[in-house]
Copies of this chain bind each other. A is one copy, B any other.
Amino acid sequence: MVRPREFDEQQALSAAMQVFWEKGYEATSISDLTTRMGIQRPSLYAAFGGKKELFETVLHKYTQISLTYIENLLSRAPSAREAVRIYLQGIIEGGGGRQTNLGCLCINTMVELAPHDQSFAHLTKDYQLRITELLRQTIEDGIRKGELASGLNAVAIARALTVSAVGLAVTMKSAPEHAYVENAVTELLTLLV
């Protein structure tokens, strides 16, 4: 009813996302966050609860954005194979607000926090399953349209590609040779033949 927030919550969340993305959860301090979010300490606690709660909110926002982005990417592609190629290529080149060598926030979280926190294990696993589901639909559409061989096991391929996409996102963090990852992607696409 009185005195509205002076900062935009979504904008602050985006800033927090950037910081967690760059530094990881443990290495990010509250001071890092308040500086980049442009707000004061007590405001952070009042608006977002605390470091862990803020991170959960940030991660949730990230998965929403990321999955929507991937869904659009896949559905707008001219063919099933192109869809998968564009998706994997995007991981290499960092499309959709990604910075290549920072990988995927959700995958980073899977590595850092999933083994120690059940809720993060569940959240990150769920993210991965949703990607698999999107890929499965893309592949099945391709089969239905006659672009892909009817004998393909859409579920198995979607799972293999998801695992590979995770590996690709992680590999990017070590700044690999361009030819290395391009080559891997090309080979992975033969799963669709």
Interface residues of A (CB under 8 A from B): 22-24, 26-27, 101-103, 107-108, 110-112, 114-116, 121-122, 124-125, 128, 132, 153, 155-157, 159-160, 162-168, 170-171, 173-176, 180-181, 183-188, 190-191
Copies of this chain per assembly: 2
A110 x B186 contact (CB < 8 A): no
- Measured in the bound complex, the distance between the Cα atoms of B168 and A160 in whole Å is 9
B159 x A112 contact (CB < 8 A): no
- Measured in the bound complex, the distance between the Cα atoms of B166 and A115 in whole Å is 16
A153 x B187 contact (CB < 8 A): yes
- Measured in the bound complex, the distance between the Cα atoms of B4 and A107 in whole Å is 45
B173 x A167 contact (CB < 8 A): no
Nearest B residue (CB) for A127: B174
Q: A164 to chain B: which residues have CB within 8 Å?
A: 160, 163-164, 167, 188
CB distance from A134 to the nearest CB of B (A): 15
> Mind listing 26 A-B residue pairs with CB under 8 Å?
A22-B115, A23-B116, A101-B114, A101-B115, A103-B111, A103-B115, A107-B170, A108-B111, A111-B170, A112-B112, A121-B173, A124-B174, A128-B174, A128-B176, A156-B186, A157-B187, A159-B183, A160-B187, A160-B188, A163-B168, A163-B181, A163-B184, A166-B171, A167-B170, A187-B191, A190-B191
- Measured in the bound complex, the distance between the Cα atoms of B188 and A107 in whole Å is 21
- Measured in the bound complex, the distance between the Cα atoms of B113 and A108 in whole Å is 11
B166 x A170 contact (CB < 8 A): yes
Q: A160 to chain B: which residues have CB within 8 Å?
A: 164, 183-185, 187-188
Q: Which of B26, B121, B176 contacts A175 (CB 8 A)?
A: B121
B111 x A107 contact (CB < 8 A): yes
Q: A190 to chain B: which residues have CB within 8 Å?
A: 191
